[in-house]
Structure 1
Amino acid sequence: MAPSDPSPHSECSPVVVPRSEHGISRKQIDEETLKVMYRLHRHGFKAYLVGGGVRDLLLGRRPKDFDVGTDATPDQVKKLFRNCFLVGRRFRLAHVRFGRDKVVEVATFRRKPAVGEMPADPEDHFRFQENVFGSPCEDAFRRDFTINALFYDIENFSLIDYVGGLEDLAARRLRVIGEPLERFTEDPVRMLRALEFCARLDFQLDEQAREGIYRAAPLIAEAAPARIREELMELFRHGVAGAVLRSAAGMGLLEPLLAGFAGDDPTFALLERIDAGTRAGATPAEPFALAALYLSRFLRVCPPNREAPVTEVVRLAGLVLAPHCGYFSIARAISHQARELLVGVYRLTRGRGRRGERRLLTNPMTPYALELLSFWSEATGEFRPLVGQWRAALGAKEQPGTAPLKAAPAKRRRRPRRRKPRSGQAPT
């Protein structure tokens, strides 16, 4: 197994796998990425395919995108491509754009700053640390997990492994580069990403990494809420929310991650049922995911056998969602839709023949609330007869699948029209 961290005085000796001994072909890499890599190479720069793209190709999976690593600085990359834009302050990157939707991300190899290199102003430390350029070896050891630190060299089509990632891929093992506790302290979100990769790839978590998560779990509360929110939605997009959050609960990571979240078995079962729908091709949007996270808690606060006016139900649904929406700065349109889904589920669980049924059947949120109730029923066994009755009542109305809800766009205020002044009248 490769060393967990390079000695500053030792020479990096990677494992190099020639083209004849691995299965990656240029035909599997999109045309735009190849154009970028070949142009960098023609101008004397190293050009590697890096990160998850290499990992997924070796696993026989289709990569979501491809990233390029190079020894060219961002400014040098920009000079080579007229369609290049530099982005980021904390982590300077070059984005080479092709058309409206295609972007190839090019990152310069980086290293940890040496002692005495840090700027005098402590506020500049983090940004400086992320933009100290280095060698491919140094860049590999800065990455999070060994399976994400593999390089594909466009010059000779070989694989380059400095950290033992190929061995870990073969063993289906997720291992942290360096000391896990130190790396999780540097970036607590890595703990959540470790569980996500294990669930997505069906890998086993290395024992040292597992112990590091147990010890560093409380630090996840210090991560930026915006990053945690995005990582949570990534779990739903990849269909692993139930598995990851169940694992997080068992490792002490869930409570500091989502304070107030009802991490009980019915909720995990519900999320796993939604994940199955996602893997079948229907991805839930944030309002649906948010309602699913808190449905169990809402049904305990507002059970179907409770006689309560709708205004009270709406208030209770808002209270259940409020801590999450406040902490993660959820937009009002998204929180409103999540609240409407919870209220809709409550009204559906009350059964048919109640006052306001006609309005409920014509409410555009009702099919989505019924879909959420259907997932709950399949996960827990509750309300199965009611789901069938409501589906029959909705009749030929379009069923949404795994509700791809979209937040309602903000209403734009129209500017008042400016009247033209009459002849001889001064303009106002």
Structure 2
Amino acid sequence: MSEQEPQPIILPRDQHGISRKQIDEDSLKVLYRLHRNKHLAYLVGGSVRDLLLGRQPKDFDIGTDATPAEVRRLFRNCFLVGKRFRLAHIRFKGNKLIEVATFRRHPRKDELPEDPDEHFHFVQNVFGTPREDAYRRDFTINALFYNIADFSVIDHVGGLEDLRAKRIRMIGDPLVRFEEDPVRMLRALEFAARLDFTLDPAILDGIEEKKELIATAAPARIREEILELYRHKVAGPVLKHCRELGMLPHLLAGYPGTDESIELISKIDQRTASGKPIEEGFAIAALYLRLFMDSCPPSPQVPITEALHKANEIIIPHCRYFSIAQGIRHQARELLVGCFRLARGRGIRGERRFLQHPFTPQSFELFSLWAEVRPDLKALVKEWQNALQKPTSEKEPTRRKPRRRRRRKPGNKQPAKV
């Protein structure tokens, strides 16, 4: 490290609240084995941030100066993954994985291969120091390290100050970092919503200038990030913020994101927070419910075949773009059509079969959330709730099939009993 470079801030054990009791037991085993074999062993990223904020991390990722091959030699239960970004995964009981990444750095221009097509793969696998690794990360609060050697917290980029200020700040120039990876724009909004932090003005200016780039990100990554929004119960506020910043149409290929749609998604966040896990088909149906209802107004005169056609017409482009499986698409379509049936009201032909349909309970759940956004539907919710709570025998009376008499073959008469 040169004399001009600022020294990292190091918080000793008695100046922070992280305890080894809060750290996953298997992660500690990995950290200690790396340390005993003379390697640097740090908890990195979001786990350190969450521990300092008093939250329980979901994952404990580990950074080290050991190469992936050296990590594999130390752990019999280790296997290497990734072609463009080589990582070590260490498997424990219950199919649990601990991810171990070697510290990386940005390569110098004179180190890059002559073939530009090889640059991306090369850039991802140039090993470096912890400080160089910290500067490769996206936000300052995600670049904090916990050193198992002395239980200290190490900050190279000002993340501790930003944690205290409750601020999301980019490492480096946001314009450059968003060009490198447009998904960082969505992640910035996600962290601000999850942690209730403010966004640095430079990030907001960068999103304003580079928002169209989000459409160039890999659909698989966008799909996973949107599911993360639902899992973290922040899909509503983040998509609302995306709309305010003009990013939403670029994120979801022209998706309008009306006030009612955003409000419905916020209701689903509350449902997830109550302990109900989110399913992707349910999330897709919620995204497009308002658009579906507008394009196919519920009426007894509209046949179900037309509703099915409209539902497919609306969700198929989304599902094809994000390579969503047929089963998930089928679920989303059935939920939309189920809401259409519920919105038409009771007493229409086919009601008994509909009450026993396997997707009807989920359709009713989505329709009930929709009624919280549209109070004029609450009376319908009450009517359907009473119908769904009736015993099965009252919904569909059983009809006994006529008993078929066995026909005797000619000449095979039994002798009469005397």
| TM, length-normalised to structure 1 | 0.90
The separation in 2 between residues aligned to 1:286 and 1:387, in whole angstroms, is 24
Contact 1:147 1:165 (8 Å CA) reproduced: yes
Deviation at 1:12, TM superposition (A): 4.9
Per-residue CA deviations over 1:88-124 (Å, capped at 9, x if unaligned) read 0111100111123211110000000012111122221
Deviation at 1:174, TM superposition (A): 0.3
Match of 2:167 in 1: 173
Contact 2:178 2:184 (8 Å CA) reproduced: yes
Per-residue CA deviations over 1:151-185 (Å, capped at 9, x if unaligned) read 00000000000000000000110000000010011
Match of 2:382 in 1: 388
Match of 2:187 in 1: 193
SS of 1:82's partner is coil
Mapped pair 1:346 → 2:340: yes
Q: Which amino acid is 1:376 matched to?
A: W
The separation in 1 between residues aligned to 2:240 and 2:201, in whole angstroms, is 18
Q: Which amino acid is 2:287 matched to?
A: L
Match of 2:330 in 1: 336
Match of 1:250 in 2: 244
The separation in 2 between residues aligned to 1:175 and 1:219, in whole angstroms, is 20
Higher relative contact order structure (alpha carbons within 8 Å, sequence separation ≥ 6): 1
The separation in 1 between residues aligned to 2:373 and 2:48, in whole angstroms, is 36
The separation in 1 between residues aligned to 2:362 and 2:11, in whole angstroms, is 50
Match of 1:274 in 2: 268
Match of 1:404 in 2: none
Contact 1:262 1:293 (8 Å CA) reproduced: no
Number of equivalent positions: 392
Contact 1:74 1:94 (8 Å CA) reproduced: yes
The separation in 1 between residues aligned to 2:326 and 2:261, in whole angstroms, is 24
SS of 1:383's partner is helix
Match of 1:55 in 2: 49
Q: Which amino acid is 2:275 matched to?
A: G
Match of 2:224 in 1: 230
Quick check: 269-278 or 326-335, which moved more? Answer: 326-335
Evaluate the alpha carbon distance shift between residue 25 and residue 219 of structure 1 in structure 2; reply closer, same or farther with a 3 A threshold. same
Deviation at 1:11, TM superposition (A): 3.1
Of all paired residues, the percent bearing the same amino acid is: 60
Q: Which has the larger radius of gyration?
A: 2
Deviation at 1:336, TM superposition (A): 1.1
Contact 1:242 1:275 (8 Å CA) reproduced: yes
Per-residue CA deviations over 1:3-39 (Å, capped at 9, x if unaligned) read xxxx988435100000001000011001110110011
Match of 1:13 in 2: 7
Evaluate the alpha carbon distance shift between residue 174 and residue 346 of structure 1 in structure 2; reply closer, same or farther with a 3 A threshold. same
Deviation at 1:360, TM superposition (A): 0.6
Deviation at 1:305, TM superposition (A): 3.5
Mapped pair 1:75 → 2:69: yes
Q: Which amino acid is 1:202 matched to?
A: D
Match of 1:370 in 2: 364
Per-residue CA deviations over 1:317-337 (Å, capped at 9, x if unaligned) read 100112211211111111111
Give the alignment of 1:261-340 within 5 angstroms: 261-305=255-299, 307-340=301-334
Q: Which amino acid is 1:50 matched to?
A: V
Match of 1:85 in 2: 79
SS of 1:106's partner is strand
Match of 2:38 in 1: 44
Contact 2:249 2:256 (8 Å CA) reproduced: no
Q: Which amino acid is 1:346 matched to?
A: F
Deviation at 1:56, TM superposition (A): 0.3
Match of 1:416 in 2: none
Match of 2:402 in 1: none
The separation in 1 between residues aligned to 2:149 and 2:346, in whole angstroms, is 68
The separation in 1 between residues aligned to 2:2 and 2:45, in whole angstroms, is 23
Deviation at 1:396, TM superposition (A): 5.9
SS of 1:116's partner is helix
Contact 1:13 1:162 (8 Å CA) reproduced: yes
The separation in 1 between residues aligned to 2:354 and 2:254, in whole angstroms, is 30
The separation in 1 between residues aligned to 2:208 and 2:26, in whole angstroms, is 42
Deviation at 1:200, TM superposition (A): 0.6
Contact 1:360 1:366 (8 Å CA) reproduced: yes
The separation in 1 between residues aligned to 2:61 and 2:95, in whole angstroms, is 15
One of 88, 113, 123 as aligned partner of 2:107: 113
Evaluate the alpha carbon distance shift between residue 196 and residue 397 of structure 1 in structure 2; reply closer, same or farther with a 3 A threshold. farther
SS of 1:131's partner is coil
SS of 1:151's partner is strand
The separation in 1 between residues aligned to 2:153 and 2:275, in whole angstroms, is 33
Contact 2:215 2:253 (8 Å CA) reproduced: no
Mapped pair 1:122 → 2:116: yes
Match of 1:220 in 2: 214
